[in-house]
Structure 1
Amino acid sequence: MGKRLQSKILIFALITNVFTVFSYQIENTANIVNNDNIVSNVIHPKLILTAQGVEDIREQLGSIPIFDKTLAKVKAEVDAEITAGIEVPIPKDYSGGYTHVRHKQNWVILQKAGVLYQLLDDEKYAKYVKDMLMQYEAIYKTLPVHPKTRSYARGKLFWQCLNDSNWLVYVSQAYDCIYNYLTKAERTRLETNLFRPFADFISIENPQFYNRVHNHSTWGNAAVGMIGLVMDDDELIQRALYGIPGADLDRNAKDDDGGYINKDGKAGFLANIEEPFSPDGYYNEGPYYQRYAMYPFLIFAEALHHVKPELGIFNYKGGVLLKSINALLNLSDADGDFFPLNDGQKGMSYYTSALVTAVDISYHFGGQNPELLSIAKEQDRVLLDDSGLAVALGIKNGFQEPFNKKSINLSDGPDGTQGGVSILRTEDLELAFKYAAQGSSHGHYDKLSFSLYEKGEEVIQDYGLARFVNIEQKGGGNYLKENKTWAKQTIAHNTVTQNETSHFTGKYDIGSLHHSDLHYFSSENKNVQVVSAIEENAYPGTTMLRTMAIIKDADFEKPYMLDIMKITSNKANQYDLPFYFLGQVLQTNFEYKTPQTLKPLGTENGYQHLFVEGIASGNNDNSKLSWLNDNKFYTLTSVTRANDELLFTRIGANDPDFNLRREPAILMRRKNSKQTTFVSTIEAHGSYSPVTESAVNSNSSIKAVKILLDTDDYTVIAITSVKDNTKLFITANRDAMQSTVHKLVVDQKEFTWEGSFVLIENK
Structure 2
Amino acid sequence: MKKRKTNIFLGWLLTVTLCISNSALHSQEHPKLILTKAGVEKIRAELGKVPLFDESLEELKNEVDAEIALGIDTPIPKDYSGGYTHTRHKKNWFVLQKAGVLYQILDDEKYAIYVRDMLLQYAELYPTLPAHPKTRSYARGKLFWQCLNDSNWLVYASQAYDCIYDFLSKRERKNLEKNLFRPFADWISVENPQFYNRVHNHSTWGNAAVGMIGLLMGDDELVDRALYGLKNAPVNTGEKDNDGGFIYSDDGRAGFLANLDEPFSPDGYYTEGPYYQRYAMYPFLIFAEGLENVKPELKILEYKDGVLLRAVNALLNLSDADGEFFPLNDGQKGMSIYTSSLVSAVDIAYRYGGKNPQLLSIAQEQGQVLLDDSGLDVAVGIRDGLAKPFEKKSINLSDGPKGEQGGVGILRYGNEDLTLVFKYAAQGLSHGHYDKLSYSFFEKGDEVLQDYGLSRFVNIEQKGGGNYLKENKTWAKQTISHNTLVQNETSHFKGKYEIGSKHHSQLYFFDASQSTVQVVSAKESNAYPGTEMHRTMALIKGDSFEKPFLLDILKVTSDSKNQYDLPFYFMGQVIQTNFEYNAPETIEPLGKKYGYQHLWTEGQGKASEDNSKFSWMNERRFYTLTTTTTAADEMRFVRIGANDPEFNLRRDAGLMLRRKDTQHTTFVSVLESHGSYSPVSEFAVNSKSNIASVKKVRDDEKYTAIVIEDIKGEKYVFILSNKDESNSSKHNLNINGNDYSWSGPYFFK
Q: TM-score, normalised by structure 2?
A: 0.95
Give the letter aligned to residue 677 of structure 2.
Answer: Y
Residue aligned with 1:571, SS: coil
Q: 1: distance between equivalents of 2:621 and 2:730? A: 41
Are residues 1:143 and 2:158 paired?
no
Give the letter aligned to residue 669 of structure 2.
Answer: S
Query: Mean alpha-carbon deviation: is it higher for 732-741 or for 209-218?
Result: 732-741
1:30 CA displacement: 8.1
In the alignment, what sits opposite 1:269?
Answer: 256
Q: Which runs of 5+ in 2 are unaligned?
A: 1-20
Are residues 1:68 and 2:54 paired?
yes
Aligned counterpart in structure 1 of residue 32 of structure 2, from 31, 34, 46: 46
Residue aligned with 2:441, SS: strand
Q: 2: distance between equivalents of 1:320 and 1:579? A: 35
Given that 1:259 and 1:508 are in contact with CA atoms closer than 8 Å, whether structure 2 keeps it comes out as no
Residue aligned with 1:190, SS: helix
Provide closer, same or farther for how the CA distance between residues 259 and 269 of structure 1 changes in structure 2, counting only shifts above 3 A.
farther
Q: 2: distance between equivalents of 1:317 and 1:219? A: 19
Are residues 1:342 and 2:329 paired?
yes
Are residues 1:747 and 2:733 paired?
no
Structural mapping, 1:16-165, within 5 Å: 42-165=28-151
Given that 2:436 and 2:524 are in contact with CA atoms closer than 8 Å, whether structure 1 keeps it comes out as yes
Q: Which runs of 5+ in 1 are unaligned?
A: 1-28, 33-38
Query: Mean alpha-carbon deviation: is it higher for 260-269 or for 106-115?
Result: 260-269
Residue aligned with 2:561, SS: strand
In the alignment, what sits opposite 1:404?
Answer: 391
In the alignment, what sits opposite 1:283?
Answer: 270
Give the letter aligned to residue 133 of structure 1.
Answer: L
Q: 2: distance between equivalents of 1:751 and 1:252? A: 50
Q: 2: distance between equivalents of 1:207 and 1:31? A: 33
Are residues 1:582 and 2:571 paired?
yes
1:488-514: CA deviation from partner (whole Å, max 9, x where unpaired): 000000000000000000000000000
Residue aligned with 1:194, SS: helix
Give the letter aligned to residue 154 of structure 1.
Answer: R
In the alignment, what sits opposite 2:364?
Answer: 377
Aligned counterpart in structure 2 of residue 546 of structure 1, from 514, 535, 552: 535
Q: 2: distance between equivalents of 1:250 and 1:343? A: 20
In the alignment, what sits opposite 1:636?
Answer: 625
Residue aligned with 2:272, SS: coil
Give the letter aligned to residue 693 of structure 1.
Answer: E
Provide closer, same or farther for how the CA distance between residues 355 and 154 of structure 1 changes in structure 2, counting only shifts above 3 A.
same
Are residues 1:591 and 2:586 paired?
no
Residue aligned with 2:559, SS: strand
In the alignment, what sits opposite 1:243?
Answer: 229
Are residues 1:683 and 2:672 paired?
yes
Query: Mean alpha-carbon deviation: is it higher for 596-605 or for 245-254?
Result: 245-254
1:250 CA displacement: 7.7
Given that 2:199 and 2:236 are in contact with CA atoms closer than 8 Å, whether structure 1 keeps it comes out as no
Provide closer, same or farther for how the CA distance between residues 252 and 390 of structure 1 changes in structure 2, counting only shifts above 3 A.
closer
Provide closer, same or farther for how the CA distance between residues 262 and 314 of structure 1 changes in structure 2, counting only shifts above 3 A.
farther
Aligned counterpart in structure 1 of residue 338 of structure 2, from 351, 367, 370: 351
Given that 1:499 and 1:575 are in contact with CA atoms closer than 8 Å, whether structure 2 keeps it comes out as yes
Q: 2: distance between equivalents of 1:715 and 1:723? A: 24
1:467-523: CA deviation from partner (whole Å, max 9, x where unpaired): 000000000000000000000000000000000000000000000000000000000
Given that 2:198 and 2:237 are in contact with CA atoms closer than 8 Å, whether structure 1 keeps it comes out as no
1:258 CA displacement: 6.7
Are residues 1:473 and 2:462 paired?
yes
Q: 1: distance between equivalents of 2:234 and 2:724? A: 48
In the alignment, what sits opposite 2:549?
Answer: 560
Residue aligned with 2:451, SS: coil
1:254 CA displacement: 5.0
Q: 2: distance between equivalents of 1:673 and 1:506? A: 23
In the alignment, what sits opposite 2:9?
Answer: none
Aligned counterpart in structure 2 of residue 215 of structure 1, from 196, 201, 218: 201
Aligned counterpart in structure 1 of residue 152 of structure 2, from 166, 176, 197: 166
Residue aligned with 1:586, SS: strand
Residue aligned with 1:716, SS: strand
In the alignment, what sits opposite 1:19?
Answer: none
RMSD between superposed Cα atoms in Å? 1.6
Residue aligned with 1:340, SS: coil
Given that 1:91 and 1:100 are in contact with CA atoms closer than 8 Å, whether structure 2 keeps it comes out as yes
Aligned counterpart in structure 2 of residue 737 of structure 1, from 723, 726, 746: 726
1:126-155: CA deviation from partner (whole Å, max 9, x where unpaired): 010000000000010110110000000000
Structural mapping, 1:302-321, within 5 Å: 302-321=289-308
Q: TM-score, normalised by structure 1?
A: 0.94
1:643-689: CA deviation from partner (whole Å, max 9, x where unpaired): 00000000000000000000000000001111000000100001111
Q: 1: distance between equivalents of 2:282 and 2:247? A: 22
1:520-566: CA deviation from partner (whole Å, max 9, x where unpaired): 00000021000000000000000000000000111000111000000
Provide closer, same or farther for how the CA distance between residues 250 and 318 of structure 1 changes in structure 2, counting only shifts above 3 A.
closer
Q: 2: distance between equivalents of 1:577 and 1:41? A: 60
1:720-761: CA deviation from partner (whole Å, max 9, x where unpaired): 01111011101111101111111111001110011111112x
Give the letter aligned to residue 118 of structure 2.
Answer: M
1:260 CA displacement: 3.9
Provide closer, same or farther for how the CA distance between residues 164 and 229 of structure 1 changes in structure 2, counting only shifts above 3 A.
same
Provide closer, same or farther for how the CA distance between residues 460 and 31 of structure 1 changes in structure 2, counting only shifts above 3 A.
closer
Q: 2: distance between equivalents of 1:376 and 1:585? A: 40
Aligned counterpart in structure 1 of residue 489 of structure 2, from 491, 500, 507: 500
1:249 CA displacement: 6.0
Given that 2:637 and 2:655 are in contact with CA atoms closer than 8 Å, whether structure 1 keeps it comes out as yes
Aligned counterpart in structure 2 of residue 611 of structure 1, from 600, 622, 625: 600
Aligned counterpart in structure 1 of residue 178 of structure 2, from 192, 209, 220: 192
Given that 1:258 and 1:441 are in contact with CA atoms closer than 8 Å, whether structure 2 keeps it comes out as no
Given that 1:93 and 1:148 are in contact with CA atoms closer than 8 Å, whether structure 2 keeps it comes out as yes
Q: 2: distance between equivalents of 1:213 and 1:617? A: 48
Aligned counterpart in structure 1 of residue 418 of structure 2, from 425, 429, 432: 429
Q: 1: distance between equivalents of 2:23 and 2:501? A: 54
Residue aligned with 1:593, SS: coil
Given that 1:332 and 1:349 are in contact with CA atoms closer than 8 Å, whether structure 2 keeps it comes out as yes
Give the letter aligned to residue 356 of structure 1.
Answer: V
Give the letter aligned to residue 199 of structure 2.
Answer: V
In the alignment, what sits opposite 2:610?
Answer: 621
Are residues 1:394 and 2:393 paired?
no
Give the letter aligned to residue 177 of structure 1.
Answer: C
Aligned counterpart in structure 1 of residue 163 of structure 2, from 168, 177, 181: 177
Give the letter aligned to residue 540 of structure 1.
Answer: P
Q: 1: distance between equivalents of 2:697 and 2:235? A: 57
Q: 2: distance between equivalents of 1:262 and 1:320? A: 27
Aligned counterpart in structure 1 of residue 717 of structure 2, from 725, 728, 733: 728
Provide closer, same or farther for how the CA distance between residues 251 and 266 of structure 1 changes in structure 2, counting only shifts above 3 A.
closer
Provide closer, same or farther for how the CA distance between residues 252 and 82 of structure 1 changes in structure 2, counting only shifts above 3 A.
closer
Q: 1: distance between equivalents of 2:574 and 2:66? A: 50
Residue aligned with 2:560, SS: strand
1:694 CA displacement: 1.1
In the alignment, what sits opposite 1:8?
Answer: none
Give the letter aligned to residue 431 of structure 1.
Answer: L
Provide closer, same or farther for how the CA distance between residues 154 and 41 of structure 1 changes in structure 2, counting only shifts above 3 A.
closer
Residue aligned with 1:334, SS: coil
Are residues 1:294 and 2:281 paired?
yes
Q: 2: distance between equivalents of 1:447 and 1:31? A: 52
Q: 1: distance between equivalents of 2:531 and 2:701? A: 14
Count of residues paired in the alignment:
725
1:609 CA displacement: 0.3
Residue aligned with 2:128, SS: coil
Q: 2: distance between equivalents of 1:413 and 1:276? A: 6
Given that 1:360 and 1:383 are in contact with CA atoms closer than 8 Å, whether structure 2 keeps it comes out as yes
Q: 2: distance between equivalents of 1:456 and 1:291? A: 19
Q: 1: distance between equivalents of 2:545 and 2:113? A: 66
In the alignment, what sits opposite 1:447?
Answer: 436
Given that 1:259 and 1:440 are in contact with CA atoms closer than 8 Å, whether structure 2 keeps it comes out as no
Residue aligned with 1:424, SS: strand
1:172 CA displacement: 0.3
1:605-654: CA deviation from partner (whole Å, max 9, x where unpaired): 00000000000111111100000001110000000000000000000000
